[in-house]
Amino acid sequence: MLAGKDVYCEKPLTLTIAEGKLIEKIKRKTGRTFQVGTMQRTECSQRFLQAIALVRSGRIGKVKKVTCGIGGFGPSPIIPEAAVPEQLDWDTWLGPAPKVPYRALPEMRKGYGGGVPLYSNCHYAFRNWHAYSGGKLTDWGAHHVDIACWALSDSKSGKRDRASYQSRARKITPLNYKFDVEYDQTGNPLVDNKYDIAIKYNIQVEMLDGVELLITNEGDNGILFEGTKGRFFVNRGKIVGKPVEDLTSNPLPGNAVEDVYGCPVPENHTLNFIEAINKKIEPISDVWTHNQMLEICHLSNIAMRLGRPLNWDPDTREVVGDKQANSFLARENRKGYEINM
């Protein structure tokens, strides 16, 4: 953005909440268009847009609970140190993360990158270490928690900033969870040769509007909306439940989905990015609402690592009365990869 570029960035946008604040700062400074790649807001046959339209049209009454099923991981193998593949610049791949040995299980199935093993602290499995990612919480959570928060808001895209929000969290409680490694009292893993993300979890999030948001590894991958008048389930392949069946005799207004989107829905998420650049408006998946949603995912991981509930102030964007938890909101980048702003 400082170089005058508009940005389309893969999700999850950040590794820490502080990184999100920095992106917002530069977005304000430069005025560039910034789109996040949470394409469920546009694509998937508009099932998620239909789900939000159902919620906002009152088809399930007052929303009481939203459950995001995001899957989990099985136990981790022991992943030994290995020779760095010839085609991999390991130091640059690590970037701001701590300098550690390359690890891999070469006897396992191969990844996409010229034979780089899939079971390594590189390629797809980087998601399984907190040094590089946040497990399923920032993988699938960045999709489904995003839709859940969007549905609990009546905001439209185009004029958003931190002055306006979707539904926000006030407390994150890890009801139960399981790691495949032990953690010390500082919230850091005691071994470095196994995946250190949570493999099982049920996390309760209390939203400011009183709705309960549950993030779980259990059940189907997707989102279950429950209200005083009914419930329905949606994922990338289906949207089902009595409120959906009732659309046959009582359809939504013809413009209900477009009203959620704020304009005609383009063919794909990339087109929305291009239209936002041309029209000088915020794209449908903007940095502001993405960061606000992703804070829930980051805080869920922090709560599990520390083993306690976190009271969150969404205005100051700090954990209330918990200095140790607040220390996880940022990290020190490795020498040579500092960001000085």
- Tens-place pLDDT, residues 204-247: 999 998 999 999 999 999 999 999 999 999 999 999 999 999 99
Whether 2 is in a domain gets the answer no
**How many other CB atoms are there within 10 angstroms of residue 325's CB atom?**
23
160-169, 186-195, 208-217, 308-317: range with lowest mean pLDDT: 160-169
What pTM was estimated for this model as a whole?
0.93
Average pLDDT over every residue of 55-81: 94
| Assigned domain for 99 exists | yes
User: Do residues 107 and 222 both lie within one domain?
Assistant: no
Angle (CA) 220 147 17, round 5°:
105
What is the mean predicted confidence (pLDDT) over 77-98?
91
Residues 91 and 200 in one domain: no
Check which CATH number belongs to the domain holding 155 and give it.
3.30.360.10
Residue 302 within any structural domain of the chain = yes
> Given this model, what pLDDT does residue 73 score?
84
- Same domain? For 27 and 106 the reply is no
Asked whether residue 84 falls in the same domain as residue 195, the answer is no
Mean pLDDT of the chain: 91
Domain containing residue 89: 80-120
**End-to-end alpha-carbon separation of the chain, Å?**
13
Q: Provide the domain count of the chain.
A: 2
Per the domain annotation, does 252 fall within a domain? Answer: yes
24: burial class by Cβ within 10 Å (0-12, 13-18, 19+)?
middle
Kindly state whether residues 292 and 208 are assigned to the same domain.
yes
Q: Are residues 73 and 159 in the same domain?
A: yes
- For 86, residues 6+ apart whose C-beta sits below 8 A from its C-beta are none
**Whole-angstrom distance, CA of residue 87 vs CA of residue 113:** 9
Residue 58 counted as domain residue: yes
Q: What pLDDT, on a 0 to 100 scale, did the predictor assign at position 112?
A: 43
Amino acid at 317: R
What is the pLDDT confidence band of residue 201, given thresholds at 50, 70 and 90? very high
Kindly state whether residues 215 and 303 are assigned to the same domain: yes
In a domain, 337, yes or no: no
